[in-house]
Structure 1
Amino acid sequence: MRAVGENYEAEEDAAPLEMLVALFEARGWPCESAHGEMSGEIQGSWTTYQVKGIWRPDDMVLQILCLPEIRVPDAKRKQAQELVARVNEQMWLGHFDIWSNGGVVLYRNGTMLGDDGLLSLSQAQALVEIAVDECDRFYPAFQFVLWGDKTPVEALDAAMVDAAGEA
């Protein structure tokens, strides 16, 4: 059995925020937890992402937020909202939003846990990895719209191009 953190082993489920903190600590990612919320930072391919876990025990829902440090200026709000709609059409889990207060772009995913309200290590890893992967995947599209003056369609097409072959 591989140790995950001070109090948890890899095979043992735990309270959601405790498992997320144990995962972050095991990976050496900075984090803190208080009042039903944990917050940490992960270096992605494009930027450092702020990742938050918010636990609602009344509903047994764990919400993961990933903020890629993108603020949408008012002048680009319409194009950014169209891009968010197009990006969300590509998503299987979670979705992107632009917060009305401050124009911050974020990825959000809510997960209903079972009646015991426990989270496994594999679930915690998957939720965090999916959040960071999706932010990495679409970060360039937001940059193309906000700073490269591309249309949302052009930006998404450019961001979705996969390199073929080897150099």
Structure 2
Amino acid sequence: MDYSAEDDAAPVEMLAALFEARGWPCEMVSDEEMSGEVQGSWANYQLRGIWRAEDRVLQFLCLPDIRVTEDKRTAAHELLCLVNEQMWLGHFDIWSNGDVLLYRHGALLGEDGRLSLDMAQALVECAIDECDRFYPAFQFVLWGDKSPRAALEAAMVDAAGEA
């Protein structure tokens, strides 16, 4: 389906249309769920949109394919707390089923339960941006053996100038 900036649609249909327009792989899992994949700065991210009509909430997930091993769980949870303090929208979490790191954002939609193209783009871009921004911090803790605070500080350093 073709949607313009003035159109609204069912949330997962609009997300699927956005993915299709950008040439990103995606599939409709059901009428209430879509799944797709996007290349971020650090890795491929699996994105999922799950519509809960009874609550008028679109849950948007971004999974950066990072698994937290048992020996790193305490440090990863400490880093989650530090990272989530830095965020305005959404949050990071670790799914207990599979120990997978994920970004989660719940978007409360209006009474009609429709999603605009602009809002769909904002959800996707925000998820990718946040995963890109904090991916290095999780890598520093999980594979670089840095402390959570040192990992966050190292990841939050912005490069000055251009290469």
Same fold (TM over 0.5): yes
The one of 140, 143, 150 equivalent to 1:144 is: 140
Give a deviation string over 1:14-34, Cα, whole Å, max 9, x none.
110110000000000000113
Aligned-pair Cα RMSD in Å: 0.8
| Percent of aligned pairs sharing the same letter | 73
Are residue 57 (structure 1) and residue 60 (structure 2) matched?
Answer: no
The one of 38, 62, 66 equivalent to 1:42 is: 38
The corresponding residue for 1:125 is: 121
The corresponding residue for 1:159 is: 155
The corresponding residue for 1:20 is: 15
The one of 100, 103, 109 equivalent to 1:107 is: 103
> What amino acid does structure 1 have at the position aligned with 2:80?
V
How much does 1:86 deviate? 0.3
SS at match of 2:8: coil
Calculate the TM-score normalised by the size of structure 2.
0.97
The corresponding residue for 2:83 is: 87
Cα separation, 1, equivalents of 2:92 and 2:48: 14
Cα separation, 2, equivalents of 1:34 and 1:139: 27
Query: Aligned pairs, how many?
Result: 162
Are residue 134 (structure 1) and residue 130 (structure 2) matched?
Answer: yes
Give a deviation string over 1:96-140, Cα, whole Å, max 9, x none.
001111110000000110001000000000001000100000000
Cα separation, 1, equivalents of 2:29 and 2:83: 32
Could you tell me whether the CA contact under 8 Å between 2:3 and 2:117 is conserved in 1? no
Cα separation, 2, equivalents of 1:7 and 1:40: 18
Higher strand proportion: 2
Give the gaps of 5 or more residues in structure 1.
1-5
Calculate the TM-score normalised by the size of structure 1.
0.95
Cα separation, 1, equivalents of 2:87 and 2:58: 19
Give the gaps of 5 or more residues in structure 2.
none
Cα separation, 2, equivalents of 1:80 and 1:104: 11
SS at match of 2:115: coil
Q: Which stretch has the larger CA shift, 57-66 or 31-40? A: 31-40
Cα separation, 2, equivalents of 1:61 and 1:146: 32
How much does 1:166 deviate? 3.2
